[in-house]
Amino acid sequence: MKKEDKSLLIESLASTLKEYPHFYLVDVTGLNSETTSNLRRECFKNDVKLQVVKNTLFEKALEKVEGDFSALTSCMKGNTGVMFCNTANVPAKLIKKFGKSNNGMPALKGAYAEESIYVGADQLDALCAIKSKFELIAEVISTLEGPINSVLSQLDGGTTIHGLLDAIEEKKG
């Protein structure tokens, strides 16, 4: 590969790293073409971008991006695929699900998710447990909805505001 081609590829990887807030490094060594195609389809369905990279070029792309990714350099051996995503736990769930039917492949090497670095396949369960921004917002809304729904149901049931306030005062006192 020519030096110009390498620098273009490094720039392309660096711009992709800036575009997506999370990425996973996976081992794609044991995957045949059919399995790889199936994995790519699953990634596409889940809004995950899968790209097989040369380790040295990816390391150089990481150097061009803000942040310290030195802990991930130990993961970059053998055939490496990078899964880029906007939701931190989606690739972890995809790797876990896909690995069950494909002898544990692709295997997690490392990940950068929610501004933290995870190294090793044993981190897969922790990555699956990460809640997305939308899941956290939904939890907060449901927590806030509970008391409001209680008040509204009391008012719908014919309880007057005065009676409701008296009941709240009795609970406190």
pLDDT of residue 124: 85
Same domain (yes/no): 94, 146 = no
pLDDT tens-digit profile of 18-74?
Answer: 999 999 999 988 788 888 888 899 999 999 999 999 999 999 999 888 888 888 888
* Domain enclosing residue 148, as ranges: 134-172
Same domain (yes/no): 97, 151 = no
Does position 161 have pLDDT exceeding 70, yes or no?
A: no
Same domain (yes/no): 60, 24 = yes
Of residues 27 and 131, which shows the higher confidence score? Answer: 27
Which 3-state string (H, E, C) describes the chain?
Answer: CCHHHHHHHHHHHHHHHHHCCEEEEEECCCCCHHHHHHHHHHHHHCCCEEEEECHHHHHHHHHCCCCCCHHHHHHCCCCEEEEEECCCCHHHHHHHHHHHCCCCCCEEEEEEECCEEEECHHHHHHHHHCCCHHHHHHHHHHHHHHHHHHHHHHHHCCCCHHHHHHHHHHHHC
Same domain (yes/no): 112, 157 = no
Same domain (yes/no): 100, 50 = yes
Is this structure's pTM higher than 0.85? no
Same domain (yes/no): 80, 144 = no
Same domain (yes/no): 27, 100 = yes
Does position 152 have pLDDT exceeding 80, yes or no?
A: no
pLDDT of residue 132: 72
Alpha carbon distance 26, 136 (integer Å)? 27
Same domain (yes/no): 157, 107 = no
Number of separate domains in the chain: 2
Of residues 159 and 96, which shows the higher confidence score? Answer: 96
Residue 48's CATH number: 3.30.70.1730
Question: Which range, 54-68, 134-148, 152-166, is most confident?
Answer: 54-68
Same domain (yes/no): 82, 161 = no
Does position 135 have pLDDT exceeding 80, yes or no?
A: no
Alpha carbon distance 137, 118 (integer Å)? 24
Angle at 106 between CA 16 and CA 117, to 5 degrees: 55
